[in-house]
């Protein structure tokens, strides 16, 4: 079968390049160039340049570096310390105690970061020393943090959703709205796991040393006001139809600068570091996107996506069977590639299959993010595992084992999404329409 032959060649060249240490973006360029030169009559250079320029000059992509910069600014502020101080009085009375700070802290920071790694690093530096000091089990501290940090991929602003939206030409604003309810439900499932652990192993839960009155808790909660206001402004402006994703990103950067300045953490050094950090991350993602655009072009000229979609369609898989196959596919792929690379690398082939199956592309974006979240905590290349190893110096196996229950909860979340698709579609369908999202 010709399609299998083409796929085999593309995959061989791709993994050969990746295995020799070539950057993901450049590896995608190499595969695209080979495909155009070997299997089409199109001039590779001219075709790739034109398509890359058209795809890279999208106004929607402007939101990407802005949201990254917002997260970099907040990463260098005192936000993490303030979050722990504001959250801990309310979390310590819940079943499982202060372990819940990991989950709620990741949920809040995800709503102003968009990055799983930034969420993990910021909340980890805040919570790990405090939970160790109070003698919480290390496997619960590590596992919940590694798993909950993946919420940075789903809760808006999500860098993965921006990349997905550009790749499949869907509204970024609607994708952001689609991620809110599933993100909250997933965070709730993580908290239920912590509560279940406290009931099953009560002897492992430290006793509460310091009790606060209700008035003291309210007083400590004032430290949460800045981050909550920033979340409301960024997400509320999009949901209300007052701002597109790009405009909301600009508002978020301005708010982050004001917040950092008010905290006294906006030093010239911190400002320059935030700019350099955002530039490095944005350039890396841009290179991957340009490589993916070139690869999509090459695959389009070879007719491979359409042929594979027709082949899958001929198998007459049910919608559920197709989703299960895609879930397994992305989990395996995520063992070797980061989330954004997995999305942009496969969309040219996967999108026609999904469209032919009648699956809503907004809903599918959230499905993809959940599955990519799983890949963040699966060895050997689970990115959150590496970040956590750098923070804690634990063995990779220990971290992966501690995060395994959170992985299983994400699998459960996939089935919940399939059973209740309105979790992802309700808010996008109810929001006021505004062009240019």
Separation CA 180–CA 96 (nearest Å):
25
Separation CA 48–CA 179 (nearest Å):
33
Instruction: Please list the pLDDT of the chain residue by residue as tens digits (437 residues).
Output: 555 666 677 777 777 877 787 777 788 788 888 877 777 766 667 667 777 776 666 666 777 788 778 878 877 777 767 777 777 777 777 888 888 888 888 888 777 776 777 777 778 777 888 888 888 899 998 989 888 888 877 888 787 888 888 888 888 889 988 998 999 999 999 999 999 999 998 888 887 656 667 677 777 778 778 878 888 888 788 777 788 778 888 888 898 888 888 878 788 888 898 889 888 877 877 777 777 777 777 766 777 666 666 666 677 778 888 899 888 888 877 766 667 777 877 787 788 888 888 899 999 999 998 988 887 787 766 667 777 777 777 887 888 888 899 999 999 999 999 999 999 999 888 864 444 44
The residues near 211 (Cβ < 8 Å, ≥ 6 apart) are: none
Separation CA 417–CA 182 (nearest Å):
8
- Give the CB-side neighbour count of residue 407, counting CA atoms within 13 A: 19
**Residue 425: closest CA among 347, 367, 342:** 367
Which two three-digit tokens encode residue 368? 């993809």
Which two three-digit tokens encode residue 102? 């990991």
Query: What pLDDT does residue 58 have?
Result: 66
Query: What pLDDT does residue 261 have?
Result: 86
Separation CA 368–CA 182 (nearest Å):
12
CA angle 164, 166, 170 (to 5 degrees): 85
Separation CA 158–CA 344 (nearest Å):
15
Residue pointed to by tokens 């089409």 = 40
CA 61 from centroid of its chain's CA atoms: 16
The radius of gyration computed from the CA coordinates of the chain, to the nearest angstrom, equals: 22
Query: What pLDDT does residue 167 have?
Result: 82
**Residue 92: closest CA among 81, 103, 101:** 101
Strands (E), 55-190: none
Which two three-digit tokens encode residue 20? 């020799």
Separation CA 73–CA 257 (nearest Å):
7
Separation CA 77–CA 267 (nearest Å):
10
Query: What pLDDT does residue 434 have?
Result: 46
Q: Do 376 and 383 meet the contact criterion of CB atoms below 8 Å apart?
A: yes
From residue 257, alpha-carbon distances to 112, 159, 347 in Å are 13, 20, 35
Name the pTM for this structure: 0.76
Q: Do 245 and 63 meet the contact criterion of CB atoms below 8 Å apart?
A: yes
Angle of helix 63-75 relative to helix 99-113, nearest 10 degrees? 140
CA 122 from centroid of its chain's CA atoms: 15
CB burial class (10 A; 0-12, 13-18, 19+) of residue 154? Answer: buried
**Residue 61: closest CA among 285, 274, 231:** 285
Q: How many residues does the chain have?
A: 437
Query: What pLDDT does residue 412 have?
Result: 94
Which two three-digit tokens encode residue 103? 């989950």
CA angle 384, 385, 391 (to 5 degrees): 90
Query: What pLDDT does residue 55 have?
Result: 63
Query: What pLDDT does residue 12 have?
Result: 78
**Residue 365: closest CA among 432, 297, 436, 417:** 417
């Amino acid at each position: 079968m010709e399609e299998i032959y083409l796929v085999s060649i593309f995959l061989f060249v791709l993994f050969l390049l990746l295995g020799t240490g070539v950057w993901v973006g450049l590896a995608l360029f190499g595969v695209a160039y080979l495909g155009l030169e070997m299997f089409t009559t199109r001039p590779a250079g001219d075709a790739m340049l034109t398509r890359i320029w058209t795809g890279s000059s999208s106004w929607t992509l402007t939101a990407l570096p802005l949201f990254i910069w917002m997260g970099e600014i907040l990463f260098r502020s005192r936000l993490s310390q303030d979050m722990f101080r504001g959250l801990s009085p309310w979390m310590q009375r819940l079943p499982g105690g202060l372990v819940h700070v990991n989950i709620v802290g990741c949920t809040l920071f995800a709503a102003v970061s968009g990055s799983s790694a930034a969420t993990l690093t910021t909340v980890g530096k805040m919570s790990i020393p405090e939970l160790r000091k109070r003698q919480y089990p290390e496997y619960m501290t590590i596992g919940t943090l590694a798993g909950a940090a993946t919420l940075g991929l789903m809760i808006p602003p999500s860098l993965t959703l921006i990349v997905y939206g550009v790749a499949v030409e869907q509204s970024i604003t609607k994708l952001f709205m689609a991620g809110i309810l599933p993100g909250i439900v997933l965070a709730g499932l993580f908290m239920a796991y912590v509560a279940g652990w406290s009931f099953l192993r009560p002897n492992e839960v430290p006793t509460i040393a310091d009790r606060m009155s209700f008035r003291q808790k309210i007083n400590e909660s004032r430290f949460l006001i800045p981050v909550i206001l920033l979340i409301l402004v960024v997400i509320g402006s999009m949901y209300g139809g007052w701002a597109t994703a790009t405009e909301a990103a600009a508002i978020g950067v301005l708010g982050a600068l004001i917040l950092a300045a008010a905290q006294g953490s906006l030093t010239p050094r911190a400002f320059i570091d935030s700019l350099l950090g955002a530039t490095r991350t944005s350039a890396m993602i841009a290179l991957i996107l340009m490589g993916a655009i070139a690869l999509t072009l090459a695959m389009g000229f070879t007719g491979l996506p359409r042929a594979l979609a027709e082949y899958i369609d001929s198998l007459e898989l049910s919608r559920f069977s197709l989703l299960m196959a895609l879930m397994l596919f992305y989990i395996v792929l995520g063992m070797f590639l980061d989330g954004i690379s997995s999305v942009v690398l496969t969309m040219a082939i996967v999108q026609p299959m999904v469209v032919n199956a009648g699956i809503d592309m907004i809903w599918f974006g959230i499905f993809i993010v959940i599955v990519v979240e799983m890949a963040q905590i699966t060895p050997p290349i689970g990115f959150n595992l590496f970040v956590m190893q750098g923070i804690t110096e634990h063995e990779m196996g220990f971290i992966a084992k501690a995060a395994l229950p959170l992985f299983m909860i994400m699998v459960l979340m996939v089935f919940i999404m399939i059973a209740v698709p309105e979790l992802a579609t309700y808010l996008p369908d109810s929001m006021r329409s505004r062009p240019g999202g």
